[in-house]
Amino acid sequence: MDFSNFLLMQQEMSLMAVFVILFIYDVFCSDKGKQWFQPIACILFTLHTAWGFLPALTGEAFGGMFVNSDMTVIMKNILNIATLLVFLQVNNWLKSHDTVHKRGEFFTITLVTLLGMYLMISAGNFMMLYIGMETASLPMACLAAFNKYREKSAEAGAKYILISALSSGVMLFGLSFLYGSMGTMYFSDMTAQVVSEPLMIVGFVFFFSGLAFKLSLVPFHLWTADVYEGAPTAVTAFLSVASKGAAAFALMFTLYKVFGNIEVVWNPILWWSSVITITAGNLFAIRQKDIKRFFAFSSISQAGYILLGIIAGTPLGMNATVYYVLVYVFSNLAAFGVISAIENRTNGNTLISAFNGLYKSNPRLSLIMMLAVFSLGGIPPFAGFFSKFYIFMAAADRGQFLLVFIALLNTVVSLYYYLLIIKAMFIKEGDEQSVDCFVTDGYNKISLILCTAGILAIGFLSCIYEHIGSKVDLFNF
Amino acid sequence: MNILSLFVLVPVLMILFLFVCKSMQQIRTVMVSGASALMILAVTLTVMFLQERAVSNAEMLFTSSTMWYPSLNIAYAVGVDGISVAMIVLSSIIVFTGVFSSWNMNMAKEYFLWYCLLSVGVFGFFISVDLFTMFMFYEVALIPMYLLIGLWGTGRKEYSAMKLTLMLMGGSAFLLIGILGIYYGSGHSSMNLLEIANNLHIPIEIQRWVFPATFLGFGVLGALFPFHTWSPDGHASAPTAVSMLHAGVLMKLGGYGCFRVAMYLMPEAAHELGWIFLILTGISVVYGAFSAVVQTDLKYINAYSSVSHCGLVLFAILMMNRTAMTGAIMQMLSHGLMTALFFALIGLIYGRTHTRDIREMGGLMKIMPFASVCYVIAGLASLGLPGLSGFVAEMTIFVGSFQHADVFHRILTIAACCSIVITAVYILRTVGKILYGPVQDSHHIGLPDASWYEKVSAVGLIVAITFMGMYPSGASELINNSLMPIIEKLAII
């Protein structure tokens, strides 16, 4: 065996190293030493994130099973940033009575999930993709049920594991069709063989449905709200950005690389999924009273926007999609950072009414929340405006003006419910249900500052977009 | 650094300074000095522009372009012609007077933060010649409205704020699709307005759907019938200075955008489809005036009169000849000034009487003579008394409109002319009701007249209105040459 293959897995190796160190530390250290777990995990992971930005080798490893390209490195970096921000937000929650004795587990399990996501992105073979997806989803169910003594959290874990089992099954079923008709699982070998014949189309549709569960596209979204609501807030945050981002990247790769020939088939499928997802996500979000459910539906509609970039099928589309996910990471995590700060204060009350009068009691948090929802809603001069604009440009580039128009009208709807939060925070008066003045813990502050900086700066720093664009290569990744 | 970028930079600096302000005194200092700086800049720009234009034939002056997103051809490109200079001067006057009209705000720091952000959007829009930055600044100007109305407004403020924001954002959805259509229709090589207008061509099939989308998108902000409904509610609920800025400047963004983007870039479609919008604007003009007649709330009266007057702007633009278009720009200036004056005075009166219902007021002339005289002046400007700005603008518009000899244009022109009479009805009725006659409410006796800061605001606007009315050739001189490129494009077809 050629060990130089491992050189390509630079990020995976470093992640494993972090995992092993933390795992051993968790097992062997004293109770007193565990107090240091949070800072150690954060520092190690920061190092790992920084490591990811160093120049990496690119190429195929293990006979094409594993592919590392400039693009995958960028995607992994985005996921790293997301994970780092989540790690910074968990301190207060993990210190609570239910979870204090198992805080090490949170970090290690999250790292395993992240490893699965890496493999999904870097897969050069459908089996690898599948293994990556499983590695990412099983630990995720543990995380969702992390507050196991809370009924809703346990329920969320159960729901998540059932749904991921179902979606894996559906996906494997589709893959078996594809394998049956082509006799190979390697992306590079399949590309030329894919034609629009019934068996392959059926295989593709099942495969797509499997990933659609992960992306929570309508009509595969039914688990989302319950799991998001029940899971601990930090897990919800991770689920909504990292898990979704990884699925979007994997979908994009497979569509472009493997199913590029049958664009006529997947284009209408994605078109309709996108329209339905954005619309349904938005309409359901309006009715929500719980902020986590609210963000669940908001993130469903965001997934629809991501599809807009994927549907373009051009370098421009790929660029816009990756950029969109990057911005989405910062905006959504800013919102979840605020939510988790408030949730800790209100003992798990996540109703929107808890936000009433937030500006009077905690002006800074409310300002960050405002930036976050404006960015999610696509209001300039925040980063979300730029990412939405580019994703619309990418779709319009392919002549999808109708789709862009529908999406645009939906941004107006989304603005309505985002403004409801602004209204609660700024215009409504606080009552006994709403949160009082408090100080956010230091880690969360750092993460919120980073998110705010990201929301404010990413749009103006055109070099980020251009850098992603310079690495886009549709067929060699 | 380009002088134009300063117009964006100054409000941004004001925002930063406001963040560190502690006392009301400091906030006022920052706002007054910032707004004065903008005024001085605007005057300097006008002088420099006139000097520069005497020696240059370029379509836009002070142009500069910095590539921002090279792969998408997005640049931060600025440049002005006479029309934008006029709009910048108007905006700076209203921003300046608006500061004085909101002298005693509660939560002043936050209020002025949003106020400055609004100014960033407004100035940025007028200096931009890049479609992307233009759209960006346009939206930057819209969103602060929500909080400004929702937090500091009166009456059904939450409803109005939401309605206004959503309708304008709906408009901007049309606008964005229009911009994408323009960009891709012209061969996706540039977002620069001048570049597209002069060197690229948008095929007529694309123009046929892009033109309505763009015109409608800007038209919503210009209170185009039937998308004007945000305007009365929004204006009525907004705090004084926000009404001033919104009716005075923000609605001009709509007219300016229709003119600069929709008409300029797509003259063929403008000829083909202009008649549809001409009918709608005709309805705006007449319907707005009629609605104003039956209102009893002072702000509603003025808001509907804004619908009517802004309708006249779009109406004149769609007449597509030089005289009418000159009139349209003059009307933008004139309406901006006088409606700001109206709102400033209504805010003043409301702050003292705590009612805006004209049935509950009377004899204010005896109680607050200064404010009442100013109100009469504003009213006279609105109904087009010669010597004040309104007359010049409306006169030019109708003379221009009458140059079309066909029946369709004639009918619309005559209908629009009728609005002058209706304007006189509602203005005189209001003036007679609230300023003269017996005092309706004994509590009103002894109310103080305008304070010094309110006087600054009112006098500033009146000076501008009279200046424009007495010396109309100054304004038309500034605008006139800049209309030529657009007129030429429209005339070729």
- Give residue-wise pLDDT tens across range B124-179: 999 999 999 999 999 998 888 888 888 888 878 888 889 899 999 999 999 999 99
User: Do the chains contact at A419 and B158, CB–CB below 8 Å?
Assistant: no
- Beta bridge partners, A306, equal none
Q: Which residues 274-333 of A are in CB contact (within 8 Å) with B?
A: 316, 319
Task: Give chain A positions within 8 Å (CB) of B170.
Answer: 409, 412
User: Do the chains contact at B169 and A419, CB–CB below 8 Å?
Assistant: no
Give yes or no for a contact between A86 and A444, defined as CB atoms under 8 angstroms apart. no
10 Å CB burial of residue A24 (0-12, 13-18, 19+) is exposed
- pLDDT higher than threshold 70 for residue A280: yes
Task: Give chain B positions within 8 Å (CB) of A466.
Answer: 69-71
Q: A358: pLDDT confidence band, cut at 50, 70 and 90?
A: confident
The alpha carbon of residue B25 is apart from the nearest alpha carbon of chain A, in Å, by 22
Q: In Å, what is the CA distance from B65 to each residue of B49, B68, B291?
A: 18, 9, 45
Give the mutation candidate from B12, B143, B156 for the A interface (greatest A CB count, under 10 A): B143
User: Do the chains contact at A389 and B68, CB–CB below 8 Å?
Assistant: no
Contacts with B291 (C-beta within 8 Å, 6 or more apart), sequence order: B232, B304, B307
Q: Which residue of B has its CA nearest to A367?
A: B110
The answer to which of A283-287, B87-91, B210-214, B354-358 has the lowest mean pLDDT is: B354-358
Contacts with B406 (C-beta within 8 Å, 6 or more apart), sequence order: none
A383 contacts chain B (CB < 8 A) = no
- pLDDT higher than threshold 60 for residue A468: yes
Give the mutation candidate from B15, B16, B72 for the A interface (greatest A CB count, under 10 A): B72
Task: Give chain B positions within 8 Å (CB) of A408.
Answer: 173, 176-177
Sequence-ordered strand ranges (E) for B295-369: none
User: Do the chains contact at A427 and B158, CB–CB below 8 Å?
Assistant: yes
The alpha carbon of residue B180 is apart from the nearest alpha carbon of chain A, in Å, by 7
Q: pLDDT per residue over A185-224, tens digit each?
A: 888 888 888 888 889 899 999 999 999 998 889 888 889 9
The alpha carbon of residue B474 is apart from the nearest alpha carbon of chain A, in Å, by 36
Give yes or no for a contact between A146 and A134, defined as CB atoms under 8 angstroms apart. no
User: Do the chains contact at B162 and A397, CB–CB below 8 Å?
Assistant: no
The answer to which of A52-56, A188-192, B355-359, B441-445 has the lowest mean pLDDT is: B441-445
Which domain does B465 fall in, by range? 3-492
Q: How many residues does chain A have?
A: 477
Give the mutation candidate from A408, A409, A470, A471 for the B interface (greatest B CB count, under 10 A): A408
pLDDT at A160: 92
User: Do the chains contact at B170 and A412, CB–CB below 8 Å?
Assistant: yes
Contacts with A4 (C-beta within 8 Å, 6 or more apart), sequence order: none
**Averaged pLDDT, B96-115:** 85
The number of domains in chain B is 1
Give the mutation candidate from A415, A425, A428, A467 for the B interface (greatest B CB count, under 10 A): A415
pLDDT at B394: 86
Sequence-ordered strand ranges (E) for A86-174: none
Q: Which of A284, A319, A460, A470 is nearest to A384 (CA)?
A: A460
Q: B-side interface with A, Cβ within 8 Å?
A: 68-72, 74, 132, 136-137, 139-140, 143, 146-147, 150-151, 158, 162, 165-166, 169-170, 173, 176-177, 180-181, 183-184, 188
Nearest to B176 among A408, A416, A419 (CB): A408
A37 contacts chain B (CB < 8 A) = no
Amino acid in the structure at residue B83? I
The answer to which of A268-277, A370-379, A452-461, B234-243 has the lowest mean pLDDT is: B234-243
The alpha carbon of residue B87 is apart from the nearest alpha carbon of chain A, in Å, by 22
- pLDDT higher than threshold 70 for residue A250: yes
Q: pLDDT per residue over B321-354, tens digit each?
A: 888 888 888 888 888 888 888 888 888 888 888 8
Is pTM beyond 0.90? Reply is yes
Q: pLDDT per residue over A73-104, tens digit each?
A: 999 999 999 999 999 988 888 888 878 888 88
Q: Which residue of B has its CA nearest to A401?
A: B177
- pLDDT higher than threshold 80 for residue B289: yes
- pLDDT higher than threshold 80 for residue A242: yes
Question: What's the mean pLDDT when you consider all of chain A?
Answer: 89
> How is residue B260 annotated by DSSP?
I
Task: Give chain A positions within 8 Å (CB) of B177.
Answer: 396, 401, 404-405, 408
Task: Give chain A positions within 8 Å (CB) of B191.
Answer: none
- pLDDT higher than threshold 80 for residue B378: yes
pLDDT at A474: 63
Q: How far apart are CA A398 and CA B2, in angstroms?
A: 37
Task: Give chain A positions within 8 Å (CB) of B68.
Answer: 462
Task: Give chain A positions within 8 Å (CB) of B137.
Answer: 380
Question: What's the mean pLDDT when you consider all of chain B?
Answer: 86
Structure tokens at A364: 């800074």
Q: N- to C-terminal Cα distance for chain A?
A: 23
Q: How far apart are CA B247 and CA B345, in angstroms?
A: 14
Give yes or no for a contact between B236 and B157, defined as CB atoms under 8 angstroms apart. no
Nearest to A396 among B69, B139, B180 (CB): B180
This complex has an ipTM of: 0.90
Residue B276: CB atoms within 10 Å = 12
- pLDDT higher than threshold 50 for residue A391: yes
User: Do the chains contact at A396 and B139, CB–CB below 8 Å?
Assistant: no
Residue with tokens 């929004």: B234
A474 contacts chain B (CB < 8 A) = no
A155 contacts chain B (CB < 8 A) = no
The alpha carbon of residue B142 is apart from the nearest alpha carbon of chain A, in Å, by 9
pLDDT at A475: 57
pLDDT at A470: 86
pLDDT at A5: 82
Strands B61-69 and B74-80: what pairing? Answer: antiparallel
**Averaged pLDDT, B407-416:** 87
Host H or E run for residue B77: strand B74-80
Host H or E run for residue A152: helix A151-182
Residue B198: CB atoms within 10 Å = 11
The alpha carbon of residue A380 is apart from the nearest alpha carbon of chain B, in Å, by 6
Q: Which residue of A has its CA nearest to B68?
A: A462
3-state secondary structure of A398: coil
User: Residue B137, Cα to own-chain centre: how many angstroms?
Assistant: 15
Q: A158: pLDDT confidence band, cut at 50, 70 and 90?
A: very high
The alpha carbon of residue A397 is apart from the nearest alpha carbon of chain B, in Å, by 7
Task: Give chain A positions within 8 Å (CB) of B132.
Answer: 389
Structure tokens at B477: 């001189």
Percent of chain A clearing pLDDT 90 (strictly above): 46
A91 contacts chain B (CB < 8 A) = no
Amino acid in the structure at residue B452? W
pLDDT at A247: 92
Q: How many residues does chain B have?
A: 493
Q: Which residue of B has its CA nearest to A414?
A: B166
pLDDT at A376: 92
Q: Which residue of A has its CA nearest to B184?
A: A397
Q: Where are the domains of chain A?
A: 7-471
**Averaged pLDDT, B362-371:** 82
pLDDT at A477: 45
Q: pLDDT per residue over B424-450, tens digit each?
A: 888 888 888 888 878 777 777 777 777
**Total beta-carbon pairs less than 8 A apart between chain A and chain B:** 77
Q: A304: pLDDT confidence band, cut at 50, 70 and 90?
A: very high
User: Do the chains contact at A401 and B68, CB–CB below 8 Å?
Assistant: no
Task: Give chain B positions within 8 Å (CB) of A399.
Answer: 184
- pLDDT higher than threshold 90 for residue A18: yes
Task: Give chain A positions within 8 Å (CB) of B139.
Answer: 379-380, 385
Give the mutation candidate from B120, B130, B177 for the A interface (greatest A CB count, under 10 A): B177
Q: B362: pLDDT confidence band, cut at 50, 70 and 90?
A: confident
Question: Is the peptide bond prior to B226 cis by the omega test (within 30 degrees of 0)?
Answer: yes
Q: Which of A114, A81, A106 is nearest to A15 (CA)?
A: A114
pLDDT at B108: 80
pLDDT at A328: 93
